[in-house]
Amino acid sequence: MNMAAAPTIEVSGLVKHFPVGRSGQMVNAVNGVSFAILPGETLGMVGESGSGKSTVGRAMLRLTEPTAGKIVFDGQDITHLPAKSTRALRRDMQIVFQDPWSALNPRMKVGNLIAEPLLLHEDMPRSERRDRTEALARRVHLSPEFLKRYPSDLSGGQLQRVCIARAIATNPKLIVLDEPTSSLDLSVRAGILEVLTEIRSQTKAAMLFISHDLGTIQLISDRIVVLYLGRIVEQAAAGALFDRPAHPYTQSLLSAHLPADPTVRIARHVLEGEVPSPINMPSGCAFHTRCPVTIADCKTTEPGQVAIGGGHLASCLRIADGGNVIGTRGAA
């Protein structure tokens, strides 16, 4: 990863609201999200279900129209490009979805599925396309014999490898991975992560890895952003976030993560109450309705990002007085 390089993608103040029927109400799915991903960097995005992770991923690829904000991809502002113009970007922007069973046409053979992006975006002879297809299968650890099979003949892990092969076929500059391992068994996940790690080392593709699985996020990410109710509440290098979480929400998430060492003593921070409705957003800090260290100002003042050092940022009013830490971390 080249820290001096220009970002592959830069998202500024991204907002996405969805109308609720004819009521005139809006679901506030994404509320002012900003981040950048450098070439060769993997940015992890974590949060509870409904936090807006997948909406962010789709909006930055223009699969979902943003309500407001700015998206700059490879130096080009693509925020308001017409649909016809966005098609030209597809070879450079790819996505791997959570469910490989629904992402693939069951009537097509695996070889044709992997070759499809080459057929759409590359001008090459059939023989070269066939060779590239076999090479792509090997890159995701699939034997060429699988190319003659149908999706129904493959396991979930094998299908996800097909989806990854399709995504990297045109050597894209950006890949969004929307919970690509959540529907897979633990042992299968490890194989998929190995493939993604190899791809990252072989290319300069920027990756957004969306997941609610903290263990997976920690393994694959260079940096991590934490979402709550469509807002980024904390962002930091992966090691710093896990070692020194600053936001109370991040601390509660990490307290539910089981460490690899069973002798490590951890403190559980169980949040009370439910996530507020994204239709009726709370005032002030969106987390104050569940936060165990909230004060009166949290209910009325929306916190800005506080710089902790080394690119570590967190949006919490209690950082200034040191009251942002929940209990005593490491206690039984």
Number of domains in the chain: 1
Does residue 117 lie within any of the structural domains? Answer: yes
Read off the pLDDT of residues 277-330 as tens digits, 9 standing for 90 and up.
Answer: 999 999 999 999 999 999 999 999 999 999 999 999 999 999 999 999 987 433
* Residue whose C-alpha is closest to residue 318's, from 299, 57, 331, 332: 299
Entry pTM: 0.91
Does residue 125 lie within any of the structural domains? Answer: yes
Indicate the length of the chain as a whole number.
332
Read off the pLDDT of residues 135-191 as tens digits, 9 standing for 90 and up.
Answer: 999 999 999 999 999 999 999 999 999 999 999 999 999 999 999 988 788 888 889
d(CA 1, CA 20): 42
Strand partners of residue 309: 312
Res. 31: pLDDT tops 70: yes
- Beta-carbon neighbour count of residue 322 at 10 Å? 7
Residue 278 in tokens? 């994204």
d(CA 312, CA 241): 8
User: What type of residue sits at position 95?
Assistant: I
CB-based contact 92:72 (threshold 8 Å):
no
Does residue 99 lie within any of the structural domains? Answer: no
Give the pLDDT mean for 180-206. 88
CA distances from 127 to 117, 138, 168 (A): 15, 17, 19
User: What type of residue sits at position 136?
Assistant: L
Residue 3 in tokens? 């820290």
CA end-to-end span of the chain:
39
In which domain, by residue range, is 156 found?
106-170
Give the pLDDT mean for 82-100. 89
Query: Is residue 168 helix, strand or coil?
Result: helix
pLDDT at position 4: 66
Report residue 33's pLDDT band, with 50, 70 and 90 as the boundaries.
Answer: very high
- The CA dihedral of 147, 183, 106, 94, to the nearest 10 degrees, is -70
User: What type of residue sits at position 10?
Assistant: E
Does residue 136 lie within any of the structural domains? Answer: yes
Read off the pLDDT of residues 223-263 as tens digits, 9 standing for 90 and up.
Answer: 999 999 999 999 999 999 999 999 999 999 988 765 555 56
Does residue 214 lie within any of the structural domains? Answer: no
Does residue 127 lie within any of the structural domains? Answer: yes
Does residue 64 lie within any of the structural domains? Answer: no
Does residue 70 lie within any of the structural domains? Answer: no
CB-based contact 222:40 (threshold 8 Å):
no
